[in-house]
Structure formats: structure tokens, C-alpha cells
Amino acid sequence: MRKAIDHLKQADPVLAEIIERAGPYRIRYNEPCFASLASSIIYQQLSGRVAGAIQGRVEAAMPGGRMTPEGVLGLEETALRACGLSGQKTKYLRHLAECTVKRDVRFEDLPGLCDEEVIERLTVVKGVGEWTAHMFLIFTLRRPDVLPTGDLGVRSAMRRAYRMRALPKPERMEKIAAKWRPYRSVASWYLWRSLEDGAE
């Protein structure tokens, strides 16, 4: 990881300042499995605290306290809604479970695929768009060079760090991030940190 940090600091003085203030790289990874993608769906457009509470209730409703496709399909929609899931997310979670059981999504295959192929495989699931696929690539498959152009946190951090008047569009983000390659995931993590801890 030292190689990635050194590259980013040398490539971009703005990012170098953020890295210095934020401190060591301490990303937390998840296992590339059904539960991780299900969690991403639950967390969409919610604060971490609220989403964590909902996920805890969903897990508690499952046999063995673990989120599995069989466990999701074994619960009535009303039971999932009672955990705090919206009607839309309940449908998304059940569709993910169905795709997993039918082997339309095979999590064991994903580590061997390139980023574009992973995105293609995951976005067949209702409710899994590019943002969710990007999060899966970064936080579960540990891909080092993903730029989540649809993430509000990364966009907000870029706007602030690079003193833009408005949130940057994907084309502008790609241009700024070109010099971060092949470590755009690491750079994105530091941008998130700059918002959380006031590192920028």
C-alpha cells in the first residue's frame, strides 16, 4: 500500500494534503458474497446508523442470524418490511436472492472477472446499479483502480478539494483522477475520509 500512497502524493499535491491530514489507509473489506451485496442494497440512500439498524433486524430474522438467499426468500415481504426495509428495497433484496439461487449471479466467479464484467454481472439484479457495483468492486473485491463517479461523497469531496463551484460531472472527475491511476480506489477512500474527519 505504501507504493499506492507514494504514487498518489507525488501525482497530485491536492490529494497529498488530504492524505497527510487523514493519516494511514485503513479501509475495511467485506467478503465477496451474497450478504455483502445485500448489505449494499440496504445501505443505499440511508445514513450508516439507520441502515445498520435495519440490517441488524433483517439478520436477526434469518435462521442462524446470517443473511442468506434462502433466508430472504423464506421470509414474507411483510416480515422484511417490518424490519424497516422499504417496499422497493424488499423487492430488490428478494430479486437478488432469486438471482443467487438460480445461479444467475455466481459470487464465486466474480473475483476472476475484470471490473467491467463484474459490473455487467451484478447490474442484472434489480436495484443494483453502477454505484452499488462500484462499491462491491472497492470494498469486497478489493479492486485498486475504481472511480465511483456516481458517489455523492466523492463528488462533494472533489468539489471542495479542487474548489469547484458545483459538483463535478463524471467527465471532469475522470480527468482529475487520470493521474491517480492505477490507484483510484485508494484516492476515493481518502476523499471520503476528507469529508468524515475534516481532513480537507
Q: Fold match between 2-26+146-196 and 34-139?
A: no
pLDDT of residue 197: 57
137-162: pLDDT as tens digits: 999 999 999 999 999 899 999 999 99
pLDDT of residue 99: 96
Q: Give the model's confidence band at 129: pLDDT under 50 very low, under 70 low, under 90 confident, else very high.
A: very high
Instruction: Report the mean per-residue pLDDT for the chain.
Output: 94
What is d(CA 106, CA 191) in angstroms, rounded to the nearest whole number? 31
Q: Give the model's confidence band at 196: pLDDT under 50 very low, under 70 low, under 90 confident, else very high.
A: confident
Q: Which fold has domain 2-26+146-196?
A: Endonuclease Iii, domain 2 (1.10.1670)
The CA–CA distances, whole Å, from 109 to 41, 92, 128, 132 equal: 20, 21, 18, 18
38-85: pLDDT as tens digits: 999 998 888 778 999 999 999 999 988 999 999 999 999 999 999 999
What is d(CA 153, CA 191) in angstroms, rounded to the nearest whole number? 8
Average pLDDT over residues 2-31: 95
Which CATH number is 34-139's, of 3.60.15.10, 3.90.1170.50, 1.10.340.30, 3.40.50.620? 1.10.340.30
Per-domain residue ranges for the chain?
2-26+146-196, 34-139
pLDDT of 167 over the 60 cut: yes
Contacts of 120 (CB under 8 A, 6+ apart): none
pLDDT of residue 19: 96
Share above pLDDT 70 across residues of the chain, in percent, rounded to a whole number: 98
What is d(CA 4, CA 191) in angstroms, rounded to the nearest whole number? 15
pLDDT of residue 46: 80
